[in-house]
Amino acid sequence: MIKRRVAIIGAGATGLAAAYDLTCAGHSVDIYEGGAEVGGLAAGFRDDSWDWTLEKFYHHWFANDDAILGLIKELGASDKLLFPRPITSLWLDGRIYQMDSPNVVVANLRLPISLVAKIRYGLTGLYLRLFKNWLPMERHTAQNWLRRTMGREAYERLWRSLLIGKFGYSFDKVNMAWFWARVYKRTPRLGTFEGGFQAFLELLADRVREQGGVIHLGQPVECIKKEDGQFVVTVNGADSGYDAVLNTSSPQIMLRLVPDLPPDYATRLSALQGMGAVVVILALKHQLLTDNTYWLSLPADTPDKSQAEFPFLALVEHTNYMDRAHYGGDHLVYCGDYVAPDHDYFDISEDELVERFTAVLKRFNPDFSPDWIRKRWVYRTRYAQPIPLVNHSQALPDLRTPMDGLYLANMSQVYPWDRGTNYAVEMGRTVAGMIMTGFERG
């Protein structure tokens, strides 16, 4: 085997998984990461009083996430997997309705909708769990499909809020295949890694290093060009040559880094739309959701945050899922939202964002007081959630770009599945296989 040089842009789960397989096969890999740590959007942080890291943006795995679980098994770390069964709930009519009680049927019967709506809602959910051929669904918007099948009442009361909260003003344009995937894949048990996702990502990064890979942290790539059959990657003004390049960054960054992309491919990239994510994390002295709910979905009747009942989409009390003893006894709460990349949540100060989000917490616990907050953190990214429109599969750019040896693998391309580390790993390993096949063909 001829040893080839590969550059990977981004040390998230996709880049690390690709590097793992490429270095296993004996190839020379350089990973360039603009951030200070590996992990990308799945990276975590640790406060001085904590034993474990906490994800900057909330994450968990499903029990059927075979790609990530398989890789963890390969790394010999399956004993570090944790899969409790937390409580997920909806906020409706001023109260919490638990959706994941041991008896799901009973939980659904308690919902504040008519009996006919409950039956249609339940049957639709069952159909989506059993139906596997998703491709025809992408011809329809989720809104139209769900209104027809489960009826207007159940859709308007239960699912319209999810779409508005996730996709803002594009909520009525998202296709049904994406929604199907959300229901089809979900499991009541939700998983994490002992020590947090960052512990898993560091384990994977260490294995890549042991196999000869080099990870350059704090080294953003400035340009990628192809000259005389070789790729030239520019970092800090210095050029390095490679036989192949995998870019795991957003479509917008890809367009900036590779000015010579063929026009048709560049047009496809430009057409992809996405939402940003904003998270306020609070370390509280007391429990906020005293019914032990882990994930509370909040209603969103309008994409206009200034007119909405709540300023964010999800209230996630992490320590109702993982023991707070791992976090120095803190009660850890995420207030998370998806917003358009030009939303003012990205421009206002951290203090103002925290004030807006914490102003509603008394709704969930009348005893809440700002002096409960021991510490807070704010994380924001303008690229977090692709927007899958009708016939989205036909609009996606291929993992192989028209420039032979240049590959793109980012969240947009895990469709119809929702973005997450399981599909990032799966895609990274798929692209690594493509790269090696390309080498074999010469």
Kindly report, residue by residue over 344-375, the tens digit of the pLDDT. Answer: 999 999 999 999 999 999 999 999 999 999 99
Amino acid (one-letter) located at 275: M
- At residue 418, the pLDDT reads 87
> What pLDDT does residue 105 have?
62
Q: Which residue has the tokens 């192949």?
A: 244
Describe the chain by its helix, strand, coil percentages, rounded to 5: 40, 25, 35
Q: Where are the alpha helices (DSSP H) in 47-196?
A: 66-74, 104-109, 115-130, 142-149, 152-154, 160-167, 176-185
How many angstroms separate the CA atoms of 184 and 129, rounded?
5
CA distance 337 to 36: 24
- List the domains of the chain with CATH numbers: 5-80+194-272+391-441 (3.50.50.60), 103-184 (no CATH), 274-386 (3.90.660.10)
pLDDT reported for residue 397: 93
Q: 146 with 137: CB under 8 angstroms?
A: no
pLDDT of residue 104: 62
Name residues of the chain where pLDDT drops below 50: none
Q: Convert 346-360 to b/e letters by CB count within 10 Å (16 or more is b).
A: eeeeeeebbebbbeb
Chain segment 157-167, per-residue pLDDT in tens = 999 998 999 99
DSSP annotation of 413 reads G
* pTM, entire model: 0.94
- Name the 3-class secondary structure at 144: helix
Which residues make Cβ contacts (< 8 Å) with residue 197, sequence separation at least 6?
Answer: 39, 42, 43, 44, 53, 55, 59, 421
Q: Are 278 and 353 in contact (CB under 8 A)?
A: yes
Euclidean distance between CA atoms 226 and 248, whole angstroms: 18
CB proximity list for 191: less than 8 A, separation 6 or greater = 60, 61, 62, 63, 65, 69, 81, 82, 83
Whole-number pLDDT of residue 102 = 56
